[in-house]
Amino acid sequence: MVPPGIDRCSVTASRAKAQPRYVARVLGRAIHFLLGRRRGAGVGKLQRNGLGDVSVATALKDNFESSARLSNHPDAVVVRFAGDSGDGMQLTGGQFTLSSALAGNDFSTFPDFPAEIRAPQGTTFGVSAFQVNFGSSDIETAGDQPDVLIAMNPAALKTNVGDLRPGGLVIADTGEFGQRNLAKAGYTVSPIDDNSLARWQVLAFDISALTLEAVKPFGLGNKEALRCKNMWTLGLSLWMFDRDRAPLIAWLQDKFAKNPVLADANIAALNAGHAYGETAEIGGPLRQWTVDAASVEPGYYRTITGGESLSLGLVAGARLAGLDLFLGSYPITPASPILHALARLKEFGVTSFQAEDEIAAIGAAIGASYAGQLGVTSSSGPGIALKGEAIGLAIITELPLVIVNSQRGGPSTGLPTKTEQSDLYQAIYGRNGDAPLVVLSTSSPTDCFDVAIEAVRLATQFMTPVMLLTDGYIANAAQPWLVPDMDDYEPFPVVFHTEAPAEGKFNPYQRDAETLKRVWVKPGTPGLTHRIGGIEKGFDTGNINYEAANHQKMTDTRANKILGIANHIPDQDIDQGAAGGKLVVVGWGSTYGPIRKAVEAARARGLDVSHIHIRYLWPLPKNLGDLLKSFDKILVPEMNTGQLKTVLRDQYLVDAKPLNKVSGQPFKIAEIEAAIDAELARKG
């Protein structure tokens, strides 16, 4: 799921058009915001609110070691918004992220929501959370531990507070801490009153009452009025980090354009939350932090999620290939954002087809490729399993096809909304027969764009299906993206075969001598009628052929064609560190952020460790074996039980050691850093 705010905001931004608002000079760079604001969209009149019941756990403050407290001027801050599924936490987090982007921070987000659309209110399994890490330095992960937790009810507190950094700040809405909600969350006594939160700073007050007070003039019903709580909380958060409210106000006016009363009520709540921070002289933990803008490469930036970036990359790839794009897809979490995004881009020659099932989705994509378009199908693990037989058909008929797998926790239905990278075996090996294809992976939301283009290039230039592995974390997480110029990309136009042979019969399996790719002939081309299918065909004729020697030759040819692609991809590079040394940490996919930061930290401590991140998983880059063998030790962190580790051991006979995590949550930097220390300390 795309954080809901981002889509909506993009509408506002594009409509409001580039009107310079203000120029801030930070860290030697001028940040020039293009975000405009509608005429007349001003900051509403601040309302003064009563403070409500404020209970600050002041007694505990003195117990903190000063190092555990966040400085007033931190490099980076991690904030987690947690509440009921219906509390709008994804939206709040998404909007807060945008304000971070506009303040010039680098950032990374982690939306974490339940599989249920709206679980029973107040329950722990209905808690939806959104974490954002923003700062003035290079941000690669959503952060190991939140510094600030905003808990909208007891269940959100219960399920999230354990992750909070000791000394971190909890903001809780006591209005939701009645006996009923406490019981639902499994508390007998309110944790605010019983000292059980002593490790943290707690700021608990009645946000519900303050919200009701703020929106009173608009005459909303109680339920509707309380739905403005998230905007009140957002307003307070904006004050805490000294953020501009104007873009949010413009966004609310756009979002509720058809219901100005709701727009005004939400804006009033936002302003009230902000004013609360400004005027409440409660001292204690509630104070302002300054997070400087990041020092980043100049250029045009936008926020983007992996799902958006991948969709745009597919369209860009199809344009570079000179083809129309056909997406056959069936709704599935967390892959659906790609279907939603591509369904809107018809002016780019995109046809999207929501099929009756996963098999029909890929079948139609194969049919479209056969007819001369770029066939794409998108799903996650269970859907890819259903597509297995059809993938084999695309392999034996040697048609271009891009198969996107947004991985999630498995097996079977597994953890639909949680992230995992456990479909690597499925991607490389998961079909009947010897059925090789190209496997690529994306390592971050912004990386998706280029990897999608590369998937299209390899599929069309080598007449093969390409499996593109992304995951639920990448699909939903957002990053700032330095938007490239499409004119800098080299086109790779497809040339369809149209020449009838001078003599003899046309063989649809005639191949390029070097790459072994077969010709692509569109039905409708005169003089080249031919038949293809899933049955083995003769190497020299393309006709059905069951002969033993021919099957050997065709199997070898299909395998060699894919292996030969290693000659047409870049050598494996080293992300950090030397080529050779004591230890290399090898990763693929969305573990990029935590591995990068862990290796960076270990290297800063003088440790001899390098980082290799593999994009091309099949065929593997030609130099990878030599590169791995130049290290004494190899550590492979993966969100599975050791799949890349097995592949590396198999391909190179190297002693790759696994570091595995399958909790549905991304790796923490500290976990990988600890494993680096352990591996370097291990004898042998």
Partner 1 sequence: MNDMTAIAIPDGSKPDHWATDQEVRWCPGCGDYAILKAVQRTMPEIGAKPENTVFVSGIGCSSRFPYYMETYGFHTIHGRAPTIATGIKLANPELDVWIITGDGDGLSIGGNHMLHLLRRNLDVQLLLFNNEIYGLTKGQASPTSRTGTKSPSTPFGSVDRPVNPCAFALGAGGRFIARTIDTAQKHIPTILKRAHANKGTSFVEIYQNCIVYNDDVFAAFTDKKNAANTQLWAEHGKPLLFANGTKGLRLNTATVELEVIDIIEGATEVVLIHDETNRMLAQLLIDMPFGEFPMALGVLYCDPAPSFETAVIEQNHAVAKGKKADLNALIRKGQSWTVHDAATHKM
Residue 502 CA, chain-centre distance (Å), reads: 52
d(CA 180, CA 197): 20
d(CA 547, CA 537): 9
Per CB under 8 A, contacts with partner 1 among 167-196 are: none
* Nearer to partner 1 among residue 373 and residue 419 (C-beta): 373
* Nearer to partner 1 among residue 2 and residue 624 (C-beta): 2
* Nearer to partner 1 among residue 168 and residue 392 (C-beta): 392
- CB of 144 closer than 8 Å to CB of 168: no
- CB of 248 closer than 8 Å to CB of 269: no
Per CB under 8 A, contacts with partner 1 among 341-400 are: 345-349, 351, 353, 355-357, 359-373, 375, 389-390, 392-393, 397
* Nearer to partner 1 among residue 302 and residue 553 (C-beta): 302
Output the six-digit token pair for 471.
């995951």
Would you give the binding string for partner 1 spanning residues 49-88, x where CB under 8 A is met?
----------------------------------------
- Residue 315 touching partner 1 (CB under 8 A): yes
- Residue 551 touching partner 1 (CB under 8 A): no
Applying CB under 8 A, the span of 115-123, 156-164, 175-183, 529-537 interacting with partner 1 comes to 529-537
- Residue 538 touching partner 1 (CB under 8 A): no
d(CA 379, CA 381): 7
Per CB under 8 A, contacts with partner 1 among 431-450 are: 449
Would you give the binding string for partner 1 spanning residues 112-141, x where CB under 8 A is met?
------------------------------
- CB of 436 closer than 8 Å to CB of 372: no
* Nearer to partner 1 among residue 227 and residue 431 (C-beta): 431
Among 180, 216, 287, 522, the residue binding partner 1 under the rule CB under 8 A is 522
Q: Strand 656-660 relative to strand 631-638: parallel, antiparallel, unpaired? A: parallel
CB of 384 to partner 1, least distance (A): 16
What DSSP string runs through 434-472?
S---EEEE--STTHHHHHHHHHHHHHHHHT-EEEEEEEH
Per CB under 8 A, contacts with partner 1 among 578-597 are: none
d(CA 600, CA 577): 9
CB of 373 to partner 1, least distance (A): 4
Sign of CA dihedral 99, 102, 108, 110: positive
* 3-class DSSP state of 95: helix
**Cross-sheet strand order for the sheet of 616-618:** 350-354, 325-329, 374-379, 401-407, 465-471, 438-441, 616-618
- Residue 198 touching partner 1 (CB under 8 A): no
- Residue 451 touching partner 1 (CB under 8 A): no
Among 300, 547, 578, 650, the residue binding partner 1 under the rule CB under 8 A is 300
- Residue 523 touching partner 1 (CB under 8 A): yes
d(CA 267, CA 269): 5
CB of 383 to partner 1, least distance (A): 14
- CB of 505 closer than 8 Å to CB of 476: no
Would you give the binding string for partner 1 spanning residues 452-491, x where CB under 8 A is met?
-------------------------------xxxxx----
* Nearer to partner 1 among residue 35 and residue 129 (C-beta): 35
Output the six-digit token pair for 530.
């031919």
- Residue 652 touching partner 1 (CB under 8 A): no
Among 35, 82, 272, 672, the residue binding partner 1 under the rule CB under 8 A is 35
* Nearer to partner 1 among residue 141 and residue 377 (C-beta): 377
Among 543, 555, 557, 665, the residue binding partner 1 under the rule CB under 8 A is 543
CB of 93 to partner 1, least distance (A): 14
Applying CB under 8 A, the span of 30-38, 464-472, 578-586, 673-681 interacting with partner 1 comes to 30-38
- Residue 534 touching partner 1 (CB under 8 A): yes
d(CA 187, CA 191): 7
Per CB under 8 A, contacts with partner 1 among 323-342 are: 324, 326, 328
- CB of 138 closer than 8 Å to CB of 104: no
CB of 611 to partner 1, least distance (A): 27
d(CA 292, CA 100): 10
**Residue among 621, 618, 666, 614 at smallest CA distance from 640:** 666
* Nearer to partner 1 among residue 152 and residue 393 (C-beta): 393
Among 41, 262, 312, 656, the residue binding partner 1 under the rule CB under 8 A is 312
Instruction: Count the Cβ atoms, other than its own, within 10 Å of residue 434.
Output: 13
- CB of 468 closer than 8 Å to CB of 455: yes
Q: Strand 438-441 relative to strand 616-618: parallel, antiparallel, unpaired? A: antiparallel
Mutual orientation of helices 229-240 and 207-215 as an angle, nearest 10°? 110
* Nearer to partner 1 among residue 365 and residue 609 (C-beta): 365
CB of 287 to partner 1, least distance (A): 27
Strand (E) or helix (H) holding 170: strand 169-173
CB of 90 to partner 1, least distance (A): 16
d(CA 230, CA 207): 9
CB of 543 to partner 1, least distance (A): 6
- Residue 322 touching partner 1 (CB under 8 A): no
Per CB under 8 A, contacts with partner 1 among 82-111 are: 98, 101-102, 104
- Residue 409 touching partner 1 (CB under 8 A): no
- Residue 525 touching partner 1 (CB under 8 A): yes
Applying CB under 8 A, the span of 9-17, 116-124, 468-476, 619-627 interacting with partner 1 comes to 9-17
**Residue among 348, 281, 341 at smallest CA distance from 305:** 341
Among 73, 118, 287, 505, the residue binding partner 1 under the rule CB under 8 A is 505
* Nearer to partner 1 among residue 363 and residue 472 (C-beta): 363
Report which residue type is found at 393.
L
Among 25, 223, 258, 683, the residue binding partner 1 under the rule CB under 8 A is 25
Which residues have CB under 8 Å from 592's CB, separation 6+? 140, 443, 444, 447, 613
Residues in contact with partner 1, total (CB under 8 A)? 95
Which residue's structure tokens are 């994306």? 442
d(CA 620, CA 627): 12
Residue 217 CA, chain-centre distance (Å), reads: 40
